[in-house]
Amino acid sequence: MKKSKLSSRILSVLLCAVMILGIFGGCASGEGDASGSKVESTPKASGVSSTGGEEKGPLYIEGSEGVTLTYWIPMTDRATQEFSTYAEHPYFQWLKEQTGVNIEFIHPTYEQQDQQLNLMIASGEYYDMLMEPWYPGGPQAGIDEGCFVDLYPYLDEYMPDYKAALECNDGSFAAWEWGPERELYQPQPQPAFKTNCTTASGALYTVSQIWTDAYYPEAGPVIRKDWLDEAGLEVPETLEELEVVLEAFKQRGEDVIPMNLGTDQAEGINSVDCGIISAFGLANYFQINKERTEVLPHFYTQDAFKDYLTLMHDWYAKGYIDPDFMNRDSESLSSLFLSDRLGIFFGNYTTPDRWKDSYTGDQDFDVVAMPLPRKTKDQHLEWVYSYFSQPTMNTSITTSCEHPEIAAAWLNVGFTKEGILRRTYGIEGDTYELRDGVPYYTDKVYNMDSAEYDSFVNCFLYPSGTGYCSVRADMIRGEAGSTEKLSTWAETEIVWGQNASPDTNWGYVVFSDDGWGQFDTAYNDAATYGTPMVLKFIIGEESLDKFDEFREKCKALGLDRAQTIAQEALDTMNGK
């Protein structure tokens, strides 16, 4: 997850019986006897059916005969172009064949999720499984008010693979995915997901997508290496070296823009990757101390931000920064870069390869990743664009589910070796092959163009759902199974992540009740004033002599209040 700001979930329950009946009509959950009592089931992976003795696969779930589970899950825009329902998705079809479990999919739009969840809460009736249910009041309220099932009692017997992934903190889960290239990539372990999937009372409320190796940063600056070569300069590593490069790029001509400020330039900072502001110990939002116990003051209110603004104003006045930076979008910036008018662009890990393929000009075009510039070469950045151990693409089993054991066992399949191979690599002999037990994509995958690869990933491998997410497959995809050379995509990510760690990233904070709404309102009230002022400081419409006045007004308009609310939420998460 990338920057981890939770979506606003201010929910109100204005319902009528007709609407409730309309949502649940025709959506039965499992099987029951004539009196409506639960039918107990014992779902276990077994090679033999308990009914007819018919040979079943190793992932077959006993007790699933005649049971249909309902799964409330929105479809991505890309998926809706390919399927009318996830029942048509190859991965879910494979799951049905392997487990014997029948799933009835219900697909709300993302816009309908809040309303439909409200209706379920009002009626006390839920679908068996809910995808990313943003329960009002947070996960603990979902447990206390009888929506979510506590999954801890199911882990040992029905979800052993999920348990292993959930508790892993050393990167060992699914270590079989790695071959000799592990030494080359040196993946770092993610913290265990268990804590962030557990409510304050100790209940496990969800099955989350999990990665046990850490991703490298996926966004950062790229630079015209051919322009550097012509100027006799190396890729800059410090702010001082970067300024020398910017001056050299400026000398290339009046129509050349040495650097932009990122795709969200209207904020006046590198808000995706914090590519320059991080040198000042700042990030584009609130930060948390290294111990993850204290919410730090917003960057608008820190002395270091004045230092950043002073430098940006100086570079803007010297012509190093695009004079129209506040009005550029990603498309116009891409056009500038590919037409030999922009020297430094803040992109993602695919940018160097993609633009080398896209360039049609007459220069000796070469583009490489540029490290996030530092004040000194040995400065360690305590912020870096990073994923976090937090529930994402997560599914909760509800108290309305009459067969929670079957649902738990079905969700567990995504964390088995068979499930990982199927949802991450595809079909053996077609899209991947095993070498000494390690999966590698075949040439068929590596030879796909961008559109084919996107379709393969989004419409064949990765359905919206819960399971293990392979970092290895993501990292080596830019190089055809090489165990001797880093993929160019990984090289780019490693450059951005060098000498940096996500120690102070905002990360995962859960707000209770209307806490997020209060936080969001306070934050936005301050940002409404602060954002245009930042731009004025940079372009010189406002003197930086007014910075102290700016800081105090931002605090009074909402930043102090937002920090207090966030601290209360963090304290609750930490059990204080």
CATH code for the domain of 408:
3.40.190.10
Asked whether residue 305 falls in the same domain as residue 264, the answer is yes
Distance CA 555, CA 215 (A): 34
In the listed set 469, 500, 530, which residue is the last one of a domain according to the structure?
Answer: 469
Distance CA 196, CA 508 (A): 8
- Position 480 scores a pLDDT of 58
- From first CA to last CA, the distance across the chain in angstroms is 26
In the listed set 441, 469, 497, which residue is the last one of a domain according to the structure?
Answer: 469
Q: What is the mean pLDDT of residues 134-158?
A: 93
Asked whether residue 90 falls in the same domain as residue 187, the answer is yes
* Residue with more model confidence, 502 or 398: 398
The answer to the question of residue 481 being in a domain is no
Asked whether residue 206 falls in the same domain as residue 232, the answer is no
In the listed set 404, 434, 469, which residue is the last one of a domain according to the structure?
Answer: 469
Helix or strand (DSSP H, E) at 69: strand 68-72
The per-residue pLDDT of the chain, averaged, comes to 85
Asked whether residue 191 falls in the same domain as residue 72, the answer is yes
The answer to the question of residue 504 being in a domain is no
The answer to the question of residue 486 being in a domain is no
Residue 325 pLDDT class (50, 70, 90 cuts): confident
Asked whether residue 339 falls in the same domain as residue 396, the answer is no
Asked whether residue 320 falls in the same domain as residue 416, the answer is no
Asked whether residue 235 falls in the same domain as residue 345, the answer is yes
Asked whether residue 331 falls in the same domain as residue 434, the answer is no
Q: Count H helices and E strands in the chain, helices first.
A: 22, 10
**Number of separate domains in the chain:** 2
Of 405, 492, 339, 346, the C-alpha closest to 101 is 405
| Locus of tokens 């599914």 | 395
Asked whether residue 187 falls in the same domain as residue 310, the answer is no
- For the segment 540-555, what is each residue's pLDDT rounded down to a tens digit? 999 999 999 999 999 9
Least confident of 4-13, 232-241, 461-470: 4-13
- Position 264 scores a pLDDT of 61
Asked whether residue 298 falls in the same domain as residue 353, the answer is yes
The answer to the question of residue 409 being in a domain is yes
- For the segment 223-248, what is each residue's pLDDT rounded down to a tens digit? 999 999 999 999 999 999 999 999 99
3 state DSSP class of 33: coil
* Nearest 10 degrees: Cα torsion 239, 244, 246, 252: -170
The answer to the question of residue 233 being in a domain is yes
- For the segment 503-518, what is each residue's pLDDT rounded down to a tens digit? 888 877 878 777 888 9
The answer to the question of residue 353 being in a domain is yes
The answer to the question of residue 5 being in a domain is no
Strand partners, 105: 71
Asked whether residue 423 falls in the same domain as residue 278, the answer is no
The answer to the question of residue 521 being in a domain is yes
Per DSSP, the residues of 117-147 read HHHHHHHT---SEEES---TT-HHHHHHTT-
The residue range of the domain holding 376 is 219-383+512-573
Asked whether residue 87 falls in the same domain as residue 49, the answer is yes
